[in-house]
Structures are given as C-alpha cells and as structure tokens.
C-alpha cells in the first residue's frame, strides 16, 4: 500500500470512528513530536480546521523547542490550538515528594490526558490517540496517559515507517529530523532509554510479531540477542497495557 492509499484509508477511518461517537470535534494532544503531528494532519484532512482542536501542554520539564515545533506545525497547516500549562499542577503534587524521573513522567502524561478529556467534554469532542505500533507492542507508554484515547489512526504503523509517511504529509522539517522523545523529563530520549534505534527495534518486532519467527531462529540468523531479549521482555512485561482490564466472572 502506497502513502496515498494509507492516508486515504486512515482519513476514512477517522471519519467513520467520529461518526460512531456522535461527537462533533477531534482533540489531539500536540507534543511537537512526529506521532502527534502525523495524527493532527490526518485529522485535519478528515474533518477540516473547524472541527479540530490541538492542545499543547508544556510542563516544567518541557523543552522550548517542543512547543515551538508544535506551533510551527499548526501555523503551517492553519490548525487551531490552545496552550495549557500543566507544570503547576504537576509541581504541586510532588511538592513534598522526591519522584524519580519515571514517576514524574508518568504523572505528567496522565495530567495531560486528563486535560484533553476535560477539554473534549466541554466542546463535544473526542480524544484521538497518537501511539504508534512500536510503542504499543513494547508497552512503551503510560497506561491511562498517552495510551488513552477514543480511537487511534496510527496504532498499526511502526515508528520507523512514520518518517516517510510524515514526509509525504509534509510535516515540518524540525519535527521530521528531531530525536524521538516523549519530553517527559529533561533530556529524555526514547532510543537512548530503549537502548536501540527504532529502526533496529522495528526490524525485530516485524520478524517476531508479523512474521511469527521464533527468537532462536533470529539469533541463528545473526540478530542481536540482547536486542531480541529486550524486545520480548518489554512485550511480555507490558502486555497488559494492550487490553482492557479483565473483569471477574461470578455468574
């Protein structure tokens, strides 16, 4: 499937899913990163500027470039946006605590999602997901934070594939060339935290998940065992994030 076909299919998906919700508008949390930029532009093609609202939510740890990149995207595509500063909320919760970067980052992600849902309810909108397939399979996201949404148009696209698709959609150059980061704490970088590039991770994910090749076979064919172990370990440990919670049956 070429980029035009992918775009048309995803635009139709967004339109169909919005109709199911009976809501009028789409809400996208715009981080200044590639994933949310792609989703925002797809939503623009699906419903037009009048029915799309992007929300920028800087915290005390957000880089200035993230906000600038998000604004630049909105200006290029004439997308309406609001800026909601959440640093005070996050800071007040941790006032007498000493959180790890991960704790603070997870809380920040959940505050952002709570903000999006509050705004969506006030304007008859729904929150659109921005997690890619790589993140979903690895569980590399905050449950009830960035993983929460009404529906997700890019959840079956690997991160490494989003760059060419983003270029096709004419996403701004600053976003296309920056290092992947959830921007949850100062200096945070996805690939540094994961230990491998998305290109290498995605190659292994495709073999394991899409082609159903056993890990031992991959090792025999020269794939990095540490990379395979990391990938399988994250998929196993975080598999619960991919499903709705189980409810006990008593009848």
How confident is the model over 92-134, as pLDDT tens digits? 999 998 999 899 999 999 999 999 999 999 999 999 999 999 9
On the 0-12 / 13-18 / 19+ scale of CB atoms within 10 A, 162 is buried
CATH topology for the 3-193 domain: Rossmann fold (3.40.50)
At 154 the three-state DSSP class reads coil
Per-position b or e across 110-138, b if 16+ CB within 10 A of its CB = bbbbebbbebbeeeebbbbbbbbbbbbbb
> Once rounded to an integer, what is the mean pLDDT over residues 134-151?
96
Domain boundaries, the chain: 3-193
CA dist., res. 42 & res. 48, Å (int): 10
List Cα–Cα distances, 90 to 31, 57, 59, 82, 97, in angstroms: 17, 12, 8, 19, 11
As given in the structure block, the two tokens for residue 54 are 């992007």
Residue 186 has pLDDT above 80, yes or no: no
CB of 3 closer than 8 Å to CB of 151: no
As given in the structure block, the two tokens for residue 67 are 């906000």
What per-residue confidence (pLDDT) applies to 185? 65
CA dist., res. 19 & res. 28, Å (int): 17
At 145 the three-state DSSP class reads coil
Using pLDDT thresholds of 50, 70 and 90, give the confidence band for residue 192.
confident
**80: nearest Cα among 70, 95, 90, 89:** 70
Residue 150 has pLDDT above 90, yes or no: yes
On the 0-12 / 13-18 / 19+ scale of CB atoms within 10 A, 212 is exposed
What per-residue confidence (pLDDT) applies to 210? 96
Each residue of 199-237: pLDDT tens digit?
A: 999 999 999 999 999 999 999 999 999 999 999 999 999
CA dist., res. 48 & res. 59, Å (int): 29
Give the number of residues written for the chain.
Answer: 251
What per-residue confidence (pLDDT) applies to 46? 98
């Amino acid at each position: 499937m070429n980029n035009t076909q992918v775009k048309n299919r995803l635009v139709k998906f967004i339109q169909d899913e919005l109709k199911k919700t009976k809501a009028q508008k789409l809400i996208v949390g715009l981080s200044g990163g590639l994933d949310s930029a792609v989703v925002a532009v797809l939503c623009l093609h699906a419903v037009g500027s009048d029915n799309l609202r992007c929300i920028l939510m800087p915290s005390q740890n957000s880089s200035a470039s993230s906000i600038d990149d998000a604004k630049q995207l909105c200006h290029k595509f004439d997308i309406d946006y609001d800026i909601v500063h959440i640093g005070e909320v996050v800071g007040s919760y941790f006032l007498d605590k000493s959180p790890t970067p991960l704790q603070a980052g997870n809380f920040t992600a959940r505050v952002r999602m709570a903000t999006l849902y509050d705004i969506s309810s006030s304007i008859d909108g729904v929150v659109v997901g921005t997690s890619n397939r790589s993140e979903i399979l690895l569980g590399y996201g905050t449950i009830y934070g960035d993983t929460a949404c009404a529906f997700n148009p890019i959840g079956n696209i690997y991160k490494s594939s989003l760059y060419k698709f983003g270029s096709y959609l004419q996403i701004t150059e600053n976003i296309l060339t920056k290092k992947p980061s959830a921007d949850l704490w100062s200096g945070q970088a996805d690939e540094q935290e994961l230990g491998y590039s998305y290109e290498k991770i995605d190659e292994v994910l495709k073999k394991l998940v899409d082609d159903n090749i056993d890990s031992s076979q991959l090792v025999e064919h020269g794939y990095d065992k540490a990379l395979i172990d990391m990938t399988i370990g994250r998929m196993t440990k975080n598999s619960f994030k991919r499903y709705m919670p189980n409810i006990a049956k008593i009848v």
